[in-house]
């Protein structure tokens, strides 16, 4: 049975909410959790240690994905035990990983790139376990609104995600490529939890919601709302302008039918989100995690359609060998995707 924890932003001073899947809420002090994570279960009859896995806030794609993947991992390898942590998102996950407070963290591609390349900050000593899925960014508005383009949204209240979400890094790049800024050209709304975003749009308190990903929960909720949803990505001309200024971004496609009422492919830009781990995570644990993720790929797709992107082939395609954790690298070599 995997367990879910909620990390507060003040990681050392506030209690965490602990939720047993299908069970009851309990409150435990953060310091006890940190001490528990520091104890090596290898000293206990040779058992594999519990794996602490950082996701994001409720209502977002990361927490949905992390819960589903934890279930798949444990079902595929019964000796693995994954504790799912609800955090503030990619930026906090990076801090937790670098402080050795979690073993695994899901990180949006832009946030990962900045950390791993040391852009404007010290280079992070972290490794990749697997890719997650591509994150093409776009806005969604209610289907009965008149908005058709990013320019139409200027001056209006827009929900841009939570403060620690990597999606805000992506939207900053997208808008910067168009000469725009979230806090100057829009009435910027910062969310406490990802789940607040679609509700604001459906209630008419925000005109649009920024998000990214295939099957992203916020987009699903708006598209499934009473009026449906309309998606507003950058136009092809705008994509070219953005890529000229931010060439690290990639062309991406949201396939037709991903969301209710979406009759055609949507072209946008973004980066792949990654599953990062501490570099000193035990090689055997990393190997077993990578093996369970990819051997359980069919079960993941049954739970989440976007899980079809979380493959070993995509991992070796989009992640350089030197960035892979040695344990994960062993698995990819074992299945002949990387030469020894």
Could you read off the pLDDT of 216-261 as tens digits, one per residue? 999 999 999 999 999 999 999 999 999 999 999 999 999 999 999 9
Residue 41: CB partners within 8 Å, gap ≥ 6? Answer: 47, 48, 49, 50
DSSP category for residue 186:
S
Alpha-carbon gap, residue 337 to 340, rounded angstroms:
10
Statement to judge: residues 156 and 43 lie in one domain:
no
> Are both 124 and 45 inside the same structural domain?
yes
| Same domain assignment for residues 309 and 288 | yes
Residue 340, domain member (yes or no): no
pLDDT single digits (tens) 116-154: 999 999 999 999 999 999 999 999 999 999 999 999 999
**pLDDT tens across 275-294, in order?**
999 999 999 999 999 999 99
With 0-12 / 13-18 / 19 or more C-beta atoms within 10 angstroms meaning exposed / middle / buried, residue 338 is middle
Query: Between 221 and 15, whose confidence is greater?
Result: 221
Structural domain for 321, as ranges? 3-133+272-334
* Confidence band for 35, pLDDT divided at 50, 70 and 90: very low
- Both 141 and 260 in one domain: the answer is yes
Q: Is residue 10 part of a domain?
A: yes
Domain boundary among 220, 238, 270: 270
Q: Is 299 helix (H, G, I), strand (E, B) or coil?
A: helix
* pLDDT tens digit sequence for 63-102: 999 999 999 999 999 999 999 999 999 999 999 999 999 9
Q: What is the pLDDT of residue 250?
A: 97
Of 270, 293, 323, which residue is a domain's last? 270
Stronger pLDDT, 18 or 198, i.e. the higher one: 198
Pick left, alpha or beta for residue 155 (phi over 0 → left; psi -120 to 50 → alpha; otherwise beta): left
**Does residue 329 have a pLDDT over 50?**
yes
- pLDDT of residue 11 exceeding 80: no
- Verify that 50 and 60 share a domain, yes or no: yes
Proportion of the chain above pLDDT 90, given as a percent = 84
Cα 254–Cα 228–Cα 135 angle in degrees, nearest 5? 25
Residues 86 and 111 in one domain: yes
Q: In this structure, are 250 and 321 located in the same domain? A: no
In a domain, 339, yes or no: no
157-162 vs 208-212, strand pairing mode: parallel
Stated as kind and residue range, the H or E segment containing 189 is strand 187-191
Confidence of residue 47 (pLDDT cuts 50, 70, 90): confident
pLDDT for 336 equals: 97
The CATH number that applies at residue 47 is 3.40.190.10
């Amino acid at each position: 049975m995997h367990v879910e924890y909620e990390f507060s932003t003040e990681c050392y001073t506030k209690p965490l909410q602990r939720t047993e899947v299908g069970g009851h809420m309990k409150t435990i002090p953060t310091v006890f959790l940190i001490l528990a994570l520091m104890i090596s279960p290898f000293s206990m009859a040779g058992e594999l240690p519990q794996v602490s896995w950082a996701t994001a806030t409720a209502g977002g794609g990361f927490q949905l994905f992390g819960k589903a993947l934890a279930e798949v991992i444990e079902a595929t390898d019964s000796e693995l035990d994954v504790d799912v942590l609800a955090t503030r998102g990619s930026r906090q996950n990076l801090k937790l990983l670098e402080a050795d407070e979690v073993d695994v963290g899901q990180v949006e591609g832009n946030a990962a790139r900045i950390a791993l390349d040391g852009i404007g900050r010290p280079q992070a000593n972290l490794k990749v376990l697997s890719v997650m899925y591509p994150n093409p960014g776009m806005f969604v508005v209610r289907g009965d609104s008149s908005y058709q383009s990013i320019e139409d949204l200027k001056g209006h209240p827009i929900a841009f995600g939570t403060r620690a979400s990597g999606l805000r890094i992506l939207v900053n790049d997208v808008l910067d490529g168009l000469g725009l800024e979230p806090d100057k050209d829009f009435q910027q709304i910062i969310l406490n939890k990802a789940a607040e975003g679609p509700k604001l749009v459906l209630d008419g308190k925000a005109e649009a919601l920024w998000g990214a990903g295939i099957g992203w929960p916020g987009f699903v909720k708006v598209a499934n709302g009473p009026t449906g949803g309309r998606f507003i990505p950058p136009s092809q001309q705008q994509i070219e302008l953005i890529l000229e200024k931010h060439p690290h971004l990639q062309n991406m496609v949201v396939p037709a039918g991903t969301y209710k009422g979406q009759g055609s492919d949507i072209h946008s830009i973004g980066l792949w989100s990654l599953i990062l781990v501490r570099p000193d995570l035990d090689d055997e644990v990393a190997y077993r995690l990578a093996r369970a993720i990819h051997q359980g790929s069919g079960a993941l797709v049954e739970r989440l359609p976007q899980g079809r992107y979380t493959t070993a082939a995509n991992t070796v395609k989009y992640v350089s060998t030197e960035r892979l954790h040695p344990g994960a690298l062993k698995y990819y070599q074992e299945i002949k995707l990387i030469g020894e």
